Amino acid sequence: MRSVVIDGSFGLDHLRIVGRESERVRPGQVLLKIKAVSLNYRDLLMVTGKYDRRAKLPLVPCSDAVAEVVGAGVGVSRVGVGDRVMPIFAQKWLSGAPTRERLRSTLGGPLNGTLTEAMMLPEEGVVRAPEHLTDVEAATLPCAALTAWTALVVEGGVKPGDSVLVQGSGGVSIFALQMAKLLGARVFATSSSDEKLERLRQLGADAVLNYKTEPQWGRKAREWSGGEGVDYVVEVGGAHTLQQSLRAVRMGGQVGLIGVLSGRTAPLDVATILMSYVRVQGVLVGHRESFEQMNRAIAAAQLRPVVDRTFAFDQAVDAFRYLQTGQHFGKVVVELS
Amino acid sequence: MRSVVIDGSFGLDHLRIVGRESERVRPGQVLLKIKAVSLNYRDLLMVTGKYDRRAKLPLVPCSDAVAEVVGAGVGVSRVGVGDRVMPIFAQKWLSGAPTRERLRSTLGGPLNGTLTEAMMLPEEGVVRAPEHLTDVEAATLPCAALTAWTALVVEGGVKPGDSVLVQGSGGVSIFALQMAKLLGARVFATSSSDEKLERLRQLGADAVLNYKTEPQWGRKAREWSGGEGVDYVVEVGGAHTLQQSLRAVRMGGQVGLIGVLSGRTAPLDVATILMSYVRVQGVLVGHRESFEQMNRAIAAAQLRPVVDRTFAFDQAVDAFRYLQTGQHFGKVVVELS
Amino acid sequence: MRSVVIDGSFGLDHLRIVGRESERVRPGQVLLKIKAVSLNYRDLLMVTGKYDRRAKLPLVPCSDAVAEVVGAGVGVSRVGVGDRVMPIFAQKWLSGAPTRERLRSTLGGPLNGTLTEAMMLPEEGVVRAPEHLTDVEAATLPCAALTAWTALVVEGGVKPGDSVLVQGSGGVSIFALQMAKLLGARVFATSSSDEKLERLRQLGADAVLNYKTEPQWGRKAREWSGGEGVDYVVEVGGAHTLQQSLRAVRMGGQVGLIGVLSGRTAPLDVATILMSYVRVQGVLVGHRESFEQMNRAIAAAQLRPVVDRTFAFDQAVDAFRYLQTGQHFGKVVVELS
Amino acid sequence: MRSVVIDGSFGLDHLRIVGRESERVRPGQVLLKIKAVSLNYRDLLMVTGKYDRRAKLPLVPCSDAVAEVVGAGVGVSRVGVGDRVMPIFAQKWLSGAPTRERLRSTLGGPLNGTLTEAMMLPEEGVVRAPEHLTDVEAATLPCAALTAWTALVVEGGVKPGDSVLVQGSGGVSIFALQMAKLLGARVFATSSSDEKLERLRQLGADAVLNYKTEPQWGRKAREWSGGEGVDYVVEVGGAHTLQQSLRAVRMGGQVGLIGVLSGRTAPLDVATILMSYVRVQGVLVGHRESFEQMNRAIAAAQLRPVVDRTFAFDQAVDAFRYLQTGQHFGKVVVELS
């Protein structure tokens, strides 16, 4: 059984494939044969040492995957051998409020992650994959899709007729676009590439804007919404885009703070939040109960994730490098044979 | 009938008392004889030109007041002559979502405000004052108390056993302390003055901290809460205190952004919001339906506002200057004879 | 100007067309030229004296309509002459909580209703009609559509992947079916007619059931949902169907109590509600803020109401008699030339 | 180790004390030495065969208790030996939505319950007891107190100034009274005994009513509230009191359906629910996350449960008989030496 590990110190150059002995299945645990692993920006930050420098190495990165259950310990009843499952991001966050204890159980750091041929998890830590999806597609759901769902559905309460702004063409943003359409919302999408904007339009975006040629996209989005501002912004940029997002959103609206792709820290005029009665809601993936509800929705709508490219297990480093370029449109996936 | 107006240009030196002719009561309107006016930080910003430089002058400042209904136009049924009432901050925001149209109807700018001997308002724009309060006390409710109520009750859902952090000893903060105790919460209060801290403790604060001598108060509040962080922060400081507030609040907790006393703009590490699944909720006073519910609660609890000092109508400028010093503990009120 | 009135005493035989003098437009009011009026079951109950026997006669029945603004009083700004608008059911319920005062302002009793060639309303009492709808279609929205929206969206929070049960083929039920599909839910529909079931299927129902041939439809719906029960039941039958609805709904699910077509009173095993942690939520149309949000959603989805049949103004009694037969599938509308 | 069991068939006459061998502590489990057990009406129904006739016998009844941890299996980390803990009612309902799977794990049926000298539970199935409470007091919290909390706080959102109606003087009702006061609400309490009404008043009830001498207590409560109706009713009577409760509650208010002491089935006019936009919310105890939050609130307020009488372990049958008489005021507890 082979695993990719961050070895010795952080950095893409320190990713290594190591052989590890298989363990016996313990009570309440399931043994998973990994079929596909999807990469998230968090994984890239982790590997390059920008996420948590205190994480103990060696560490198997990544938290997204789809797998087959190939062994089940005593007492396992939620799933059975042969089932196709996905691990949940925070292994102990099954429902209810986020707590430090629950969020300390995330895969890909501090716990060993999914970029491995096999792994063992508590049966409580996996959910069934929607049947209509390929392995590669199903592997993309645990973080990116659930983050979009938690933001729009659980926290946002987005309803038909609402307007939603999504930024760029990364995994979360495209899921957010697809789900916003599923929710009956109108979507305003931004990107720095006209070609990607065209593809976002094909995925259902009602309006698109190139933020390179139109840096005042906040005002533009507000105008597009009819002047009041959009109901919901899926903020993946972070520090350097938040001010524009606050310009885009309507009074009483919500900004779901999902990512910090543009940076963690920048000057922010917080009076805007106050004067417009805006809610800025940080969103960190979500719990298992939401995951299962989302899967039910994905199955009902036969929604299909957008996969940009797949890489073989031996080329996992290339997958990370590709993610780093930011060229992708949708998810980058490592496929295991 | 005399009114204080900002005349010619902004600045405390441009406050003048002018005589104005009384108007006839119009259908659906009530004529109010003002008994007391309470000052808010917003009023000071407005007078000094820091709130909205495009506001049309001359303008009567202030939005808080208590008044006697001395005339009622045709069709008025909500209140009657002789009733003691308080105007609502945003005259058109009776309930429901905040909208730009509703929030354009605020007293003290753009509409003429309450620092006047008499004024006329639509009957929909006033609510009855709790009977147990003096005029001076009742005058303090419309902005500061309702802001605290909207933050803690409507948006915060603070419940018995929760922990709440309040900053300083201004009007909103003291109301927040009183209401948090009414809600059964434990309260952590900060101030730069040990004397004020002692008074906050007497008002019910369970723990107090001098932020001058302990700049890392966010970490201290977190420790006090048992390590997880406090459930709710009433943020009145704004740009320069928000980072500490984000340190103080628990994962999944909420920061009610109420004021920007320390400044509007500062570098902010937005990743904290994301990583801790925190909600930063801007709060702008609240609507009439909440105001009436709060009054019911204030009456039931016989809660009494904390008034620092009163000034005569002719000394309204002095009241503003005193507010500007930041020495006050509670509300500053102008009393009309 | 002619109006239909309940004259002298209740009963379809006491509906009369009377001529009334037109009034001058008052300040803040709009004069409406009615184009189409849709009938609700409540209107039938009112006319036949089963809704409120203390209602003062003569009374113009009905609350649904679409109209053209043909006059606007002093101070009117929300709408203008030439606009196409719909009256709101409870003229004073603009947003916020339902109260007795707000709900005493309903059209078609106690206030005169819409079955008239012209009427005057406060500008606050109308909303703009979605542009893509015909007059006949738009006339159906104020009660039936808004009731379905309030139930599913405002109170139900129905989300993609949820399962919804709708009963029969009346106006509210068909709107509920259409909106549940718009929300991404799966729908189980019942009827006593196989022909109607086929049409419900064409409108998007995922499963249908003839409750005549299968009186234990509660159990059947539960099985269809996968065993747990459906997430939401739109209960229009009332007393005699509620017990089956409680069998159909999942633990922790919700029954929106919308109508009492089968009767007001019947023995009910209330322990079911307790043991299954079910919410039974009475829903009475909804407020203007919801109405406007619904219209936005209807426009965005280009949703089209299902109209069964139209009648001329002179045949309004026939329209009521037809509604009484229960043969209709969707809305029954009176069209004015 | 001795346990009380329902043996052979249902009925108080079939309660027997049997000796059982102690088990070895399993991984993830804790061994509990029971100190006190509180009886709930559900336990009485279970023993007498009125709750679930299909429950497998022999069965140890009861779910409330306080215990000392005297053993901890491998991997236990939430609690330790020496801790004082209370079991949770539904062992698998830790947070999130109620589901059939989660609710099938309730103590006292189908799982063996707490009326035993020792028992073993998963560490996830217990919570720490508030320190200021005696054993007897702490034993009363798991069902009755949590039911009241879930009703008023989680589902009811009761806030300062609200009005709450509680019925009688059983465990849930008295906790509801105490918590409603803690929440800042005004309380209207009913009983059939003037003596008990006096005690309810001493516990904080703002108004009391003898429903024997005033059967139209719904109307009376409405009048007391000022005419609109009370905001929240804690309905413990069930079928025969619900109609009065619906008369008492305000438009848009909520009836928390907690118990069916007066019976399961009775004719109900469901139109009242619809016409008054009322929510009838079934409440079944609650989950562990709520339990822990409630304990925090109970500790902060130093709230003390009202215990009517205690019985020795050998007199458990007498405790049940006493509960059956309905004479109690507060909780009935079995104390183990």
Return the residue of B nearest to D158 by Cα.
B159
A97 vs D contacts (CB less than 8 Å)? 95, 289
Return the residue of C nearest to D42 by Cα.
C275
User: What is the pLDDT of chain C when averaged over all its residues?
Assistant: 96
Q: What is the mean pLDDT of residues D203-228?
A: 97
Superfamily for domain range B2-140+305-335: Medium-chain alcohol dehydrogenases, catalytic domain (3.90.180.10)
Q: What is the mean pLDDT of residues A205-230?
A: 97
Q: Are residues D289 and A27, on separate chains, in Cβ contact within 8 Å?
A: no
Instruction: Give pTM, 2 decimals.
Output: 0.97
Q: What is the pLDDT of residues C153-177, one digit of tens each?
A: 999 999 999 999 999 999 999 999 9
d(CA B140, CA C1): 53
Whether residue D155 contacts residue D39, with contact meaning beta carbons closer than 8 Å, is answered with no
Q: What is the pLDDT of residues B82-132, one digit of tens each?
A: 999 999 999 999 999 999 999 999 999 999 999 999 999 999 999 999 999
Pairing of strands D331-335, D307-312: parallel
User: What is the pLDDT of chain A when averaged over all its residues?
Assistant: 96
Query: What pLDDT is attached to residue D233?
Result: 98
Q: What is the mean pLDDT of residues C6-28?
A: 93
**Closest-CA distance of chain C to residue D146, Å:** 14
Chain C residues at the A interface, defined by Cβ less than 8 Å, are 153, 157, 159-161, 179, 182-186, 293-301
User: How many Cα atoms occupy the beta-carbon half-sphere of B235 within 13 Å?
Assistant: 36
When pLDDT is cut at 50, 70 and 90, the band that residue C337 belongs to is: confident
d(CA D288, CA D154): 13
Query: What pLDDT is attached to residue D21?
Result: 84
d(CA D110, CA A274): 52
Q: At a CB cut-off of 8 Å and minimum separation 6, what does B54 contact?
A: none
Q: What is the mean pLDDT of residues D191-197?
A: 97
Return the residue of B nearest to A155 by Cα.
B279
Q: Are residues A96 and D95, on separate chains, in Cβ contact within 8 Å?
A: yes
Q: Which of C89, C262, C274, C287 to mutate to test the interface with D (most CBs of D within 10 A)?
A: C274
Name the 3-class secondary structure at C244.
Answer: helix
Q: Which fold has domain D145-282?
A: Rossmann fold (3.40.50)
- Of C307, C333, C299, C2, residue with least CA distance to C127: C299
Q: What is the pLDDT of residues A91-131, one digit of tens each?
A: 999 999 999 999 999 999 999 999 999 999 999 999 999 99
Q: What is the mean pLDDT of residues B240-249?
A: 96
Query: What pLDDT is attached to residue B22?
Result: 79
Query: What pLDDT is attached to residue B20?
Result: 84
Query: What pLDDT is attached to residue C32?
Result: 98
d(CA A1, CA B226): 43
Q: Which of B101, B273, B287 to mutate to test the interface with A (most CBs of A within 10 A)?
A: B273
CA angle C80, C81, C82 (to 5 degrees): 110
D99 vs C contacts (CB less than 8 Å)? 228, 251-252
d(CA D74, CA D169): 44
B296 vs D contacts (CB less than 8 Å)? 161
D289 vs A contacts (CB less than 8 Å)? 96-97
Q: Which of C105, C270, C283 to mutate to test the interface with D (most CBs of D within 10 A)?
A: C270
d(CA D122, CA D254): 36
Q: What is the mean pLDDT of residues B36-51?
A: 96
When pLDDT is cut at 50, 70 and 90, the band that residue D143 belongs to is: very high
When pLDDT is cut at 50, 70 and 90, the band that residue D23 belongs to is: confident
Q: Which of C143, C162, C273, C278 to mutate to test the interface with D (most CBs of D within 10 A)?
A: C273
**Residue tagged 């508590």 (tokens):** A122
When pLDDT is cut at 50, 70 and 90, the band that residue B21 belongs to is: confident
B96 vs C contacts (CB less than 8 Å)? 94-96, 287, 289
Query: What pLDDT is attached to residue B86?
Result: 98
Query: What pLDDT is attached to residue B75?
Result: 93
Whether residue A20 has pLDDT greater than 90: no
Pairing of strands B207-210, D29-38: unpaired
Q: What is the pLDDT of residues D108-130, one digit of tens each?
A: 999 999 999 999 999 999 999 99
A275 membership: H or E segment, kind and range: helix A271-275
Tokens of D332: 């009935």
Q: At a CB cut-off of 8 Å and minimum separation 6, what does C189 contact?
A: C165, C166, C167, C173, C177, C197, C200, C201, C205, C207, C208, C209
The shortest CB-CB distance from D301 to any of B153, B184, B299 is to B184
Whether residue B193 has pLDDT greater than 90: yes
Query: What pLDDT is attached to residue C23?
Result: 80
Return the percentage of chain A with pLDDT > 90, whole number: 96
- Of A186, A184, A189, residue with least CA distance to A297: A184
Whether residue A253 has pLDDT greater than 90: yes
Q: At a CB cut-off of 8 Å and minimum separation 6, what does D126 contact?
A: D30, D32, D67, D69, D78, D79, D85, D86, D87, D88
Q: Are residues C99 and D228, on separate chains, in Cβ contact within 8 Å?
A: yes
Whether residue C31 has pLDDT greater than 90: yes
Query: What pLDDT is attached to residue A249?
Result: 98
Domains of chain D by residue range: 2-140+305-335, 145-282
When pLDDT is cut at 50, 70 and 90, the band that residue D40 belongs to is: very high
Chain C residues at the B interface, defined by Cβ less than 8 Å, are 27, 94-97, 287, 289
Length of chain B: 337
Query: What pLDDT is attached to residue B337?
Result: 81
Query: What pLDDT is attached to residue B23?
Result: 80
d(CA A158, CA A186): 10
- Neighbours of C, requiring at least 3 CB pairs below 8 Å, are A, B, D
When pLDDT is cut at 50, 70 and 90, the band that residue A305 belongs to is: very high
The shortest CB-CB distance from A184 to any of C183, C186, C295 is to C183
Tell how far CA B302 is from the center of its chain. Answer: 19
Q: What is the pLDDT of residues C101-145, one digit of tens each?
A: 999 999 999 999 999 999 999 999 999 999 999 999 999 999 999
Whether residue C298 has pLDDT greater than 90: yes
Q: Are residues A293 and C159, on separate chains, in Cβ contact within 8 Å?
A: yes
A259-263, B169-173, D69-73: least confident range:
A259-263
d(CA B108, CA A191): 42
**Closest-CA distance of chain C to residue B232, Å:** 25
Chain D residues at the C interface, defined by Cβ less than 8 Å, are 97-100, 103, 228, 238-239, 242, 251-252, 257-260, 264-284
d(CA D309, CA D325): 13
Distances (CA, A) of A250 to A181, A191, A277, B259: 19, 21, 9, 19
